[in-house]
Amino acid sequence: MVDGSGSLGGGVGDAIFGFVTLLLFPLLGVLALFKQRASALLWTAVGLWILIGGLSLFLQWPAGAQGSGFLHGYLIGTLLGLGFLLVDWLRRRRKVAKWLKLGIALLTLAAFGKALHDFLQRHG
Protein backbone atom coordinates (compact mmCIF):
# COMPACT_ATOMS: atom_id res chain seq x y z
CA MET A 1 0.00 0.00 0.00
CA VAL A 2 1.31 3.49 -0.83
CA ASP A 3 1.17 6.12 1.89
CA GLY A 4 1.00 9.90 1.45
CA SER A 5 4.74 10.26 0.88
CA GLY A 6 4.64 8.02 -2.18
CA SER A 7 6.63 5.23 -0.56
CA LEU A 8 5.56 1.70 0.09
CA GLY A 9 4.23 1.39 3.61
CA GLY A 10 3.57 -1.46 5.97
CA GLY A 11 6.63 -3.48 5.02
CA VAL A 12 5.33 -4.31 1.56
CA GLY A 13 8.69 -3.32 0.04
CA ASP A 14 10.45 -5.70 2.43
CA ALA A 15 8.04 -8.49 1.54
CA ILE A 16 8.55 -7.97 -2.20
CA PHE A 17 12.33 -7.84 -1.79
CA GLY A 18 12.32 -10.96 0.36
CA PHE A 19 10.12 -12.85 -2.07
CA VAL A 20 12.20 -11.87 -5.11
CA THR A 21 15.49 -12.79 -3.44
CA LEU A 22 13.94 -16.02 -2.20
CA LEU A 23 13.22 -16.95 -5.81
CA LEU A 24 16.00 -15.32 -7.84
CA PHE A 25 19.17 -16.39 -6.05
CA PRO A 26 18.23 -20.07 -5.71
CA LEU A 27 17.01 -20.08 -9.33
CA LEU A 28 20.47 -19.04 -10.49
CA GLY A 29 22.01 -21.73 -8.32
CA VAL A 30 19.64 -24.42 -9.57
CA LEU A 31 20.38 -23.43 -13.16
CA ALA A 32 24.07 -23.82 -12.38
CA LEU A 33 23.55 -27.24 -10.80
CA PHE A 34 21.68 -28.45 -13.89
CA LYS A 35 24.35 -26.93 -16.13
CA GLN A 36 21.88 -24.56 -17.77
CA ARG A 37 23.45 -21.32 -18.92
CA ALA A 38 22.00 -18.28 -17.26
CA SER A 39 24.32 -15.85 -19.05
CA ALA A 40 21.60 -14.21 -21.13
CA LEU A 41 19.32 -13.90 -18.09
CA LEU A 42 22.16 -12.47 -16.01
CA TRP A 43 23.26 -9.97 -18.64
CA THR A 44 19.66 -8.86 -19.15
CA ALA A 45 18.91 -8.55 -15.43
CA VAL A 46 22.13 -6.67 -14.62
CA GLY A 47 21.75 -4.43 -17.66
CA LEU A 48 18.16 -3.54 -16.76
CA TRP A 49 19.13 -2.99 -13.13
CA ILE A 50 21.92 -0.59 -14.11
CA LEU A 51 19.83 1.18 -16.75
CA ILE A 52 16.59 1.59 -14.80
CA GLY A 53 18.38 2.32 -11.50
CA GLY A 54 20.68 4.86 -13.14
CA LEU A 55 17.73 6.52 -14.85
CA SER A 56 15.86 6.61 -11.54
CA LEU A 57 18.83 8.23 -9.83
CA PHE A 58 19.24 10.74 -12.65
CA LEU A 59 15.55 11.69 -12.62
CA GLN A 60 15.40 11.51 -8.81
CA TRP A 61 12.40 9.24 -9.24
CA PRO A 62 12.30 7.33 -5.94
CA ALA A 63 10.36 10.16 -4.31
CA GLY A 64 9.29 8.22 -1.22
CA ALA A 65 12.64 6.55 -0.64
CA GLN A 66 15.56 8.13 1.09
CA GLY A 67 18.02 9.16 -1.60
CA SER A 68 21.01 7.65 0.19
CA GLY A 69 19.09 4.43 0.92
CA PHE A 70 18.12 4.04 -2.72
CA LEU A 71 21.69 4.75 -3.85
CA HIS A 72 23.02 2.24 -1.32
CA GLY A 73 20.62 -0.47 -2.55
CA TYR A 74 21.37 0.36 -6.16
CA LEU A 75 25.13 0.10 -5.64
CA ILE A 76 24.85 -3.16 -3.71
CA GLY A 77 22.58 -4.62 -6.40
CA THR A 78 25.00 -3.51 -9.10
CA LEU A 79 27.97 -5.07 -7.29
CA LEU A 80 26.05 -8.31 -6.74
CA GLY A 81 25.06 -8.43 -10.41
CA LEU A 82 28.61 -7.81 -11.55
CA GLY A 83 29.77 -10.48 -9.12
CA PHE A 84 27.33 -12.96 -10.63
CA LEU A 85 28.61 -12.09 -14.09
CA LEU A 86 32.19 -12.63 -12.89
CA VAL A 87 31.27 -16.04 -11.46
CA ASP A 88 29.56 -16.96 -14.73
CA TRP A 89 32.73 -15.97 -16.63
CA LEU A 90 34.95 -17.94 -14.24
CA ARG A 91 32.74 -21.03 -14.62
CA ARG A 92 33.83 -21.26 -18.23
CA ARG A 93 37.49 -21.58 -17.23
CA ARG A 94 38.30 -25.25 -16.72
CA LYS A 95 40.87 -24.78 -13.94
CA VAL A 96 38.42 -22.91 -11.73
CA ALA A 97 35.12 -24.50 -12.74
CA LYS A 98 35.26 -27.62 -10.54
CA TRP A 99 35.90 -25.74 -7.30
CA LEU A 100 33.60 -22.93 -8.25
CA LYS A 101 30.70 -25.33 -8.83
CA LEU A 102 31.17 -26.86 -5.40
CA GLY A 103 31.35 -23.41 -3.79
CA ILE A 104 28.28 -22.20 -5.67
CA ALA A 105 26.29 -25.27 -4.64
CA LEU A 106 27.17 -24.78 -0.97
CA LEU A 107 26.55 -21.05 -1.13
CA THR A 108 23.21 -21.59 -2.87
CA LEU A 109 22.03 -23.96 -0.16
CA ALA A 110 23.16 -21.58 2.58
CA ALA A 111 21.57 -18.54 0.90
CA PHE A 112 18.29 -20.36 0.33
CA GLY A 113 18.16 -21.50 3.93
CA LYS A 114 18.92 -18.00 5.22
CA ALA A 115 16.43 -16.33 2.89
CA LEU A 116 13.72 -18.82 3.80
CA HIS A 117 14.42 -18.35 7.50
CA ASP A 118 14.32 -14.54 7.21
CA PHE A 119 11.14 -14.64 5.12
CA LEU A 120 9.38 -16.93 7.61
CA GLN A 121 10.56 -14.81 10.55
CA ARG A 122 9.10 -11.68 8.98
CA HIS A 123 5.93 -13.05 7.45
CA GLY A 124 5.34 -16.49 8.94
- Judged by average pLDDT, the poorest of 6-10, 56-60, 120-124 is 6-10
Q: What would the pLDDT profile of 54-70 be if each residue is shown by its tens digit?
A: 888 888 776 555 667 77
What is the pLDDT at residue 4?
Answer: 43
Give the Cα separation of 99 and 68 in Å (integer).
37
Question: What was the pLDDT predicted at 35?
Answer: 65
Helix residue ranges per DSSP H, the chain = 12-33, 39-59, 67-91, 94-123
In this prediction, residues 75-93 reach a mean pLDDT of: 83
- Per-residue pLDDT averaged across 1-19, rounded? 53
